[in-house]
Amino acid sequence: MDRLIIEGPSKMSGEVAVSSAKNAYLPILAATLVTSKPVHLKNLPDLKDIKTMIKLLTHLGVVVETKGDVTSFDSSKILSNEATYDLVKTMRASILVLGPILGRFLESKISLPGGCAIGARPIDLHLKNLKKMNANITIESGYVYAKTNGLKSADITLNFPSVGATENLMMAALFADGETVIENAAMEPEVEDLANFLIAMGAKIQGSGTSRLSIKGNMKADDFKEVTYEAIGDRIEAGTLIMAALITNSKIKVKNINPRHLSVVLHVLEEMGAAFEIGKNFITVKPSKLKWSKIHTAPYPGFPTDLQAQIMTLATKAEGASIIREEIFENRFMHVPELVRLGAEIELIGNAAIIQGNTKLTGCPVMCTDLRASAALVLAAMSAEGVTDVQRVYHLDRGYERLEEKLKMLGVKIERSNPGEYL
Ligand code: EPZ
């Protein structure tokens, strides 16, 4: 298993462009199933999760071809409507093919995703509301069987602005008879990007990026247009790199990012004492002395749960004690014991963590437990004295494209050992 050997403390300088957003491209890849026309996607990030989704699409009969930085998808002849367990178990976002397949083919068999390290991750909001759209859904031997004689438009209200549920229902609604409204829809930039992709293909969707979406139905696969699309920059990768610069007291420029997508994160960091130069599609981080903060994660535009582990690492170096409440997932503190191994002083009380500031971190072997926890350990290793051996980095490879190359280019002493396949 690959590991990253990092010698700290690091000093960073220079510029880096973030990759296209994994969490925008995953639903967009699922959405290639709604159309019989070619779809051309630019700069797909070279990530395990992206590869897994493409493997699933190929299994379903999509013809995929890459030429340079464009990958083309032809879903005109779908051969199967079944997403098997061996594919779905490695990546929960596979459930996003449910809406497109059910809408277009009226029947689908998708393995239940099962739990994951950070929480139970139920899909009740997806299923309950597909039923509201005239789908007959049963769960048997770990599979979701969904069938309909035609989806019906509905007025849907989500009791929680679930990203995945919003995306699945948005795609299913394209095929319903009439206009579907989704109230309390997720507003994450990645959800907005999916809506913009579908609109570029000819879908009629209003309210993208807001909590009220209305989707015109009665679409057929042949109604869509051929499209070339590039997803937004990855705001979570950008936030991770910004925190890496802050924890190493460095000046770097992070490019290919819409600062609006990180407004609350930048506000929280500025309140801690960080200073930025904000451009149209870049953020320059300036060396700053940081003080403690009080943070709780929330649905967009609140502080993203996907940056909770990373800001916890940053908090170990700030002046004073910080408190972080994780309000989205029930088990997203698995990075804490590993940070404690490096010398952090963190106490967990329910869904809150109290982090002592000004702690000295010392390099040692640590183990990744999930994608964003891995990023937090890399940041900690960059601020620790000495060598840190970050193990099981396959977790990191799910969501960060060649992170060690980007960090090395910025001056970090980092090497991947047992260099195997990235994916
Ligand atoms: C997406 O997951 C992201 N993944 C996650 O990023 C991200 O952490 C999460 O949104 C929240 O922002 C992708 O986009 C591929 P949710 P998703 O449905 O769609 C509960 C990463 O690190 N819930 O908004 O699964 C659920 O249990 C990953 O890149 C239900 O109860 O998130 C959780 O507590 C991790 N019933 C909360 O909502 C449902 O039917 C948020 O889930 C669905 C969700």
Q: Is 116 a catalytic residue?
A: yes
Distance 24 CA to ligand 1 centre (A): 13
328 Cβ closer than 6 Å to some ligand 1 atom: yes
pLDDT band at 79 (very low <50, low <70, confident <90, very high): confident
Q: Is 128 in the pocket of ligand 1 (CB under 6 A)?
A: no
Residue 89 clears pLDDT 90, i.e. is over it: no
> Does ligand 1 come within 6 angstroms of the Cβ of 169?
no
Q: Would you say the CB of residue 23 lies under 6 angstroms from ligand 1?
A: yes
Mean pLDDT of the chain: 96
Give residue 78's pLDDT band: very low, low, confident or very high (50, 70, 90).
Answer: confident
Question: For the segment 299-311, what is each residue's pLDDT rounded down to a tens digit?
Answer: 999 999 999 999 9
- Give the model confidence (pLDDT) of 252-285 as tens digits: 999 999 999 999 999 999 999 999 999 999 999 9
Tell me what the mean pLDDT of segment 116-124 comes to: 86
pLDDT at 121: 85
Residue 322 pLDDT more than 80?
Answer: yes
* 163 touches ligand 1 (CB under 6 Å): yes
Cα of 329 vs centre of ligand 1, distance in Å, is 8
For residue 91, is pLDDT > 90? no
CA distances from 388 to 243, 262, 417 (A): 18, 29, 12
State the average pLDDT over residues 374-396. Answer: 97
The CA 73 to ligand 1 mean position distance, Å, reads 26
Residue from 19, 20, 22, 23 to probe ligand 1 pocket by mutation (most atoms less than 8 Å from CB):
23
Residues whose CB is less than 8 angstroms from the CB of residue 278 and which lie 6 or more positions away in sequence, other chains included: 259, 266, 284
Residue 92 — pLDDT band, cuts 50, 70, 90?
A: confident
Q: Whose CA is nearest to atom 1 of ligand 1?
A: 163
- The whole-number pLDDT of residue 356 equals 98
Give the pLDDT confidence score for residue 53 in this predicted structure: 96
pLDDT at residue number 347: 98
| pLDDT tens track for 32-70 | 999 999 999 999 999 999 999 999 999 999 999 999 999
| Per-residue confidence (pLDDT) for residue 422, from 0 to 100 | 47
Spacing, Cα 68 to ligand 1 middle (Å): 32
Q: What is the distance in A from the centroid of ligand 1 to the CA of 305?
A: 9
Give the Cα separation of 13 and 1 in Å (integer). Answer: 30
Q: Quick check: CB of 235 below 6 Å from ligand 1?
A: no
Confidence label for 409 from pLDDT (cuts 50, 70 and 90): very high
pLDDT of residue 411: 98
Catalytic one of 5, 17, 70, 116: 116
pLDDT tens column, 194-224: 999 999 999 999 999 999 999 999 999 999 9
Q: Which residue is closest in CA terms to ligand 1's atom 35?
A: 306
Residue 361 has pLDDT above 50, yes or no: yes
Residue with the smallest CA separation from ligand 1 atom 43 is: 123
Tell me, in angstroms, the distance from the centre of ligand 1 to residue 392's CA.
23
Nearest atom of ligand 1 to the alpha carbon of 164: 19
What pLDDT does residue 418 have? 81
Q: Which two tokens stand for residue 319?
A: 């002046």
Ligand 1 pocket mutation, candidates 50, 123, 144, 162, criterion most atoms within 8 A of CB: 162
Ligand 1 pocket test target in 328, 335, 370 with most atoms within 8 Å of CB: 328
pLDDT value, residue 123? 94
Rounded CA-CA distance 34/157 in Å is 23
In this predicted structure, what is the pLDDT of residue 423? 41
Give the pLDDT of residue 28. 98
Q: Is the CB of 139 under 6 A from ligand 1?
A: no
